[in-house]
Structures are given as C-alpha cells and as structure tokens.
Amino acid sequence: MKRLLAGLLLLGLSFSVLAQAPQRPTTIHHTKKAKKEASVYICESSRAYAYHNSTSCRGLQRCTHGVSKVSVSEAQERGYRPCKICY
Ligand SMILES: [Zn+2]
C-alpha cells in the first residue's frame, strides 16, 4: 500500500512538472491563403457578369479579357453573380 501511495505521489509530481512545462502556442498562424473565404475567378470584361469556381470553366474560357482571382465577397461587390455552369 505504501508503495502504491509513493507511486501515485510520483505520478502526481510528474504531472505537475508537465503542467508547469512551457506550453507550445496552440494558435495556428493564419496566412492570407488560409482565409475562410473561397477565391473565385472573374473575367475583367465589362460584359462579364459571373464569377467562376475554377479557371477551367467554359464560361470563363470565353473571356477574351484578363482573368482575376478575387474573393467571393469582392466579386459580389463588383456586381458579379455565381456562374450557372460551375455553380
Ligand atoms: Zn463558370
């Protein structure tokens, strides 16, 4: 019984040592890329009205102007709507 007590004491001691050990920061560094908001692709043409899920969408491939990668909210602010083909 005495031995068990000593063992428990030792266990408790090691636990308190562990608790005192400097903790690793658990916060994950969020990069701009890891942002929650998804990126979409828009055509810079004045006739373009839709934002696309991917650059391989045929709606986007019709675009003769530059293609920009923007966030969904930015695309919506600029008056773009989700593409009917890829959304
Ligand atoms: Zn599309």
Considering the domain boundaries, does residue 50 fall inside one?
Answer: yes
- 31 Cβ partners below 8 Å, 6+ apart? none
CA of 42 to the centre of ligand 1 (A): 9
Q: What SS3 class is residue 81?
A: strand
Considering the domain boundaries, does residue 5 fall inside one?
Answer: no
Distance (Å, whole) CA 87 – CA 79 = 16
Residue range of the domain that includes 75: 39-82
Number of domains in the chain: 1
Q: pLDDT value at position 14?
A: 63
Q: Give the pTM.
A: 0.58
Give the model confidence (pLDDT) of 46-56 as tens digits: 999 999 999 99
CB count in 10 Å sphere of residue 39 = 16
Considering the domain boundaries, does residue 33 fall inside one?
Answer: no
Rounded to the nearest 5 degrees, what angle is found at the Cα of 74, between the Cα atoms of 73 and 80?
A: 90
Considering the domain boundaries, does residue 60 fall inside one?
Answer: yes
CA of 41 to the centre of ligand 1 (A): 8
Considering the domain boundaries, does residue 25 fall inside one?
Answer: no
CA of 77 to the centre of ligand 1 (A): 18
